[in-house]
Amino acid sequence: MLLFDQVRQDVREALLALYSFEAGPADFQVNLTRPEFEGDYTVVIFSLVKKLRLAPDMLARSLGDRLTQLHPDRYASHALVKGFLNLVVRDAWWTSMLAHAFSDPRHGMAAPTGRKVMVEYSSPLGHLRNNFLGWSIAEILQANGHDVVRTCIVNDRGVHICKSMIAWQRYADGATPASTGRKGDHFVGDWYVRFNDAFRAEVETLVASGVDKARAEKEAPILLAAQEMLVRWEQGDPDTLALWRTMNGWVYEGFETTYRRIGSRFEKTYYESDTYLLGKDAVEEGLRRGVFVRKDDGSVWIDLTPDGLDEKLLLRKDGTSVYITQDIGLAMRKHEDFGTDQSIYVVGDEQNYHLKVLRLICQKLGLPYADGIHHLSYGMVELPTGKMKSREGTVVDADDIVQEMVEIAERHTRELGKFEEIPAGEQGELFETLGLGALKFFLLRVDPKKKMVFNPEESIDFHGFTGPFIQYTHARIRSILRKLQPYPGYDISGVSLHRLEKDVLIRLEMYGQVLRQAAEDLDPSVVAIYAFQLAQAFNAFYAELSVANAATEPERQLRLRLCQMTCHVIASAMGLLGIRVPERM
């Protein structure tokens, strides 16, 4: 049992024994003791005072006395600070924990729960926060014992796809990614930009000839050609489908290159071309049961005004589906494929309404998995120069951001001289590790619900709240352990702990609690903040207390165990954020 949970349980048992009071989860809090006070864990008892009608100091004193009497092997002493009860955990308890856990690379991980969770995320173009959040949430849930399925949905159909195809047909002269040396997704994106350039030029020509702008934008020849191509695609025209498959293949190859570089993978990829007709059967069932209504023009709607929303279209009057219809069908398909207990959609906060409607409709249809639909909403990322654009070729591309970060990492690392031990052939991998680590950490260290500004230079600071600071701490510890290793089985039980040693031990022991909170909140920033605070605590310890030149051998062995466990936990925590940690710097 985690010490945090043990303290809570001990306090509940003491309250029951002293006052016959069965305390619930909200009746008191347990926190880490603030550094300026004596103690390791603090019990906040203000909420108990009214219920038990006791003075704060009297209640704290009686609780503290009871705990130290009942559990003398766990609690050495207690202190009262204005209604707070500070508990001092025995050194022997900490050293015993260290002796058992220091060599366990899975410290903090939970046993299998049997619960299956799907995490749907990813868009490699620009929305790196989406990709990193989804990946990290999946890893954190897996660390908590859940069976996790990573999925993504690829929007591979529609007029926007046809726009690239029309432009390629008209202007490419047979060019391919291979013939131009362009990455496949970038190559196809170039033709989307070319389409928009041609579209604007045609609109300007029509307006100059006296056509109203709104009409010109609807009647530009190249737009009409794209719309006609979409009709041919839907009709199954062989030539259109062949070009569609070829150009989508180029895009997928480009996506896969990006995913490999940023360290992302999926157990299942759904394609909109396979799913866009799904959901119509659910609509018919909803009509039969009176959940939906068909209006006079033939369109199908659901009235959500009693739920504080509005009316929502499900089928157009011509019988074609809309996005919400497709999403209902896809939700059904995903449950059929995997039978998940929960389905987490990692989608930006601009889709809050859409996901709320999806869950509500699935609930009204009585679908068994509806309550498990969860929207992990996140805020958009801006650059110091303003918002990331997504149209007309001004998109901030994931590959460009990653490359920029790697170059910044190389510049900073060379300026600081932090790569002397690295052979020349391995330096490129180090810069890649640091650049990607800085990018991921910066985007994950903030509560997902908050909007944020991404500053590439700030993210690479080796001394700040950054990934490279933690990566450097790991490399420093690995350097120590290459020179000295703890002796297996060495007895450290009698060592008296320095406060700085205990600070690190407290952080190490609570790792499992951090993982549990991160999973409950679906918030990787909990892990990012923890990893940073652990690195801070270790660096404070290492700056003042020598490992190699400890006063006694038991002290040295304890500190070596401290180093090894810190190394394991940092690597584990950063791994859950998708960040590699270097062996040397």
Q: What is the pLDDT of residues 513-532, one digit of tens each?
A: 999 999 999 999 999 999 99
Angstrom CA distances, 27 to 21, 30, 44, 119, 400, stand at: 10, 10, 9, 34, 51
Share of the chain above pLDDT 70, in %: 97
How large is the average pLDDT for residues 346-364? 94
Pair 310, 299: CB distance under 8 Å: no
Amino acid 26 reads A
State the Cα angle at 443 between 459 and 145, rounded to 5°: 130
Alpha-carbon 84 to chain mean position: 35
Of 399, 432, 440, 398, the residue nearest 413 (C-alpha): 432
Helix (H, G, I), strand (E, B) or coil at 43: strand
How large is the average pLDDT for residues 368-388? 82
Task: Give 425's contacts (C-beta < 8 A, 6+ positions apart).
Answer: none
**Packed helices 238-262 and 184-208: angle between N→C axes, nearest 10 degrees:** 120
Helix (H, G, I), strand (E, B) or coil at 254: helix
* Mean pLDDT across the chain: 92
- What is the residue whose two structure tokens read 């699935």? 362
Instruction: Cite the DSSP H helix spans in 46-115.
Output: 46-52, 56-70, 91-101
Of 2, 18, 80, the residue nearest 44 (C-alpha): 80
Which pTM was predicted?
0.92
Whole-number pLDDT of residue 389: 44
- Whether 124 shows a pLDDT value over 70: the answer reads no
Which DSSP symbol is given to 131? H
Whole-number pLDDT of residue 123: 62
How large is the average pLDDT for residues 188-212? 96
Q: For 288, list phi and psi in degrees, rounded to 5.
A: -60, -35
The three-state (H, E, C) secondary structure of 389-439, written as one string: ECCCCCECCHHHHHHHHHHHHHHHHHHHCCCCCCCHHHHHHHHHHHHHHHH
- What is the residue whose two structure tokens read 């389905």? 343
**Packed helices 553-576 and 91-101: angle between N→C axes, nearest 10 degrees:** 60
Task: Kindly report, residue by residue over 312-321, the tens digit of the pLDDT.
Answer: 999 999 888 8
Rounded CA separation 213/217 (Å): 6
Amino acid 430 reads L
Report DSSP letters for 528-548, one per residue. HHHHHHHHHHHHHHHHHS-ST
Pair 373, 359: CB distance under 8 Å: yes
Is residue 296 left, alpha or beta, with left meaning phi > 0 and alpha meaning psi from -120 to 50?
A: alpha
Pair 467, 437: CB distance under 8 Å: yes
Amino acid 126 reads G
- Whether 112 shows a pLDDT value over 90: the answer reads yes
Rounded CA separation 42/67 (Å): 13
Angstrom CA distances, 74 to 31, 65, 66, stand at: 17, 13, 12
List, in order of start, the domains of the chain with CATH numbers: 3-89 (3.30.1360.70), 158-262 (no CATH), 399-576 (1.10.730.10)
How large is the average pLDDT for residues 481-497? 93
Whole-number pLDDT of residue 385: 60
